């Protein structure tokens, strides 16, 4: 086994041992290794992202209530968004988060989301890097509002769409945070999602892009191979081999 393969196997084994309550490395350093769901939830609210998303969700919900009764078909909006979420996650992860810096004359096209995601890959255990950057959330809020206004025929539909968007984004943010926390999973489903994400961080950045499901869209797009057939990527923690 090459040193790179051994490193990936060791990182995966250490994180799985944490979840099984067998890891002693962090304990020796005085850090908690297994947290309850309540402890993780409390820690989640020590970061700005949940408050930003919560404020946007509360504003959208208030707007929806004040807009009055809507049409029955508006119920299809959240259903449709949930149905396409794995595909959207995959596309955002591949196209935006794994964006490779490009040069346009003297300009370098390297969005904040991509830069932050490279840092996240460099240190998956650094919790502040797990969240959607607050700077991005400040401009995404008016952007989502403008898009919702353009694509919906009524005020009620617009606010229904915004409520669905922010509820889903909040769920995504919580799931991603939970996956990188020291919470010990209690279900086979969660362990599958957890391992899928660990493979992306420690095995190869070219596969396993979904976050809230265990490879749903990855199977559609052919990025959910048998892990034993995938060599450990030398740039899994150095995306595009850039200096971080």
pLDDT tens digits, 39-75: 999 999 999 999 999 999 999 999 999 999 999 999 9
The span from the CA of 54 to the CA of 88, in Å, is 21
Measured CA to CA in angstroms, residue 184 lies from 20, 70, 72, 173, 203 at distances of 7, 42, 40, 18, 21
The span from the CA of 156 to the CA of 59, in Å, is 13
Task: Compute how many other C-beta atoms are within 10 angstroms of the C-beta atom of residue 152.
Answer: 17
The span from the CA of 143 to the CA of 220, in Å, is 29
Residue 13's pLDDT band (boundaries 50, 70, 90)? low
pLDDT tens digits, 117-175: 999 999 999 999 999 999 999 999 999 999 999 999 999 999 999 999 999 999 999 99
Give the pLDDT of residue 35.
84
**Which of 2-6, 93-97, 132-136, 174-178 comes out lowest in average pLDDT?**
2-6
Give the pLDDT of residue 25.
46
Whether the Cβ atoms of residue 52 and residue 137 lie closer than 8 Å to each other: yes
Per DSSP, 235 falls in state T
- The answer, yes or no, to whether residue 216 has pLDDT greater than 60, is yes
- The answer, yes or no, to whether residue 241 has pLDDT greater than 80, is no
Q: Which of 42, 44, 88 is nearest to 180 (CA)?
A: 44
pTM listed for this prediction: 0.85
Per DSSP, 106 falls in state T
The span from the CA of 176 to the CA of 130, in Å, is 7
């Amino acid at each position: 086994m090459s040193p790179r393969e051994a490193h990936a196997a060791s990182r995966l084994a250490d994180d799985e041992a944490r979840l099984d309550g067998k890891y002693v490395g962090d304990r020796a350093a005085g850090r908690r290794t297994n947290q309850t769901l309540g402890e993780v939830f409390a820690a989640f609210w020590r970061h700005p992202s949940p408050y930003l998303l919560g404020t946007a969700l509360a504003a959208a919900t208030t707007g929806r209530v004040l807009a009055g009764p809507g049409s029955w078909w508006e119920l299809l909006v959240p259903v449709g968004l949930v149905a396409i979420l794995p595909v959207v996650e995959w596309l955002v992860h591949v196209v935006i988060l794994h964006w490779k810096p490009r040069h346009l004359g003297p300009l370098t096209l390297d969005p904040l989301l991509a830069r932050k995601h490279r840092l996240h890959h460099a240190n998956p255990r650094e919790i502040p890097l797990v969240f959607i950057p607050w700077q991005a959330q400040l401009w995404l809020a008016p952007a989502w509002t403008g898009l919702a206004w353009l694509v919906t025929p009524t005020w009620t539909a617009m606010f229904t769409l915004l409520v669905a968007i922010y509820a889903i984004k909040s769920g995504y943010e919580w799931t991603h945070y939970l996956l990188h926390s020291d919470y010990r999973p209690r279900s086979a489903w969660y362990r599958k999602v957890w391992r899928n994400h660990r493979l992306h961080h420690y095995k190869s950045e070219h596969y396993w892009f979904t976050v809230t499901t265990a490879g749903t869209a990855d199977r559609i797009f052919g990025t959910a191979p048998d892990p034993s057939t995938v060599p450990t990527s030398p740039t899994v923690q150095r995306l595009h081999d850039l200096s971080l």
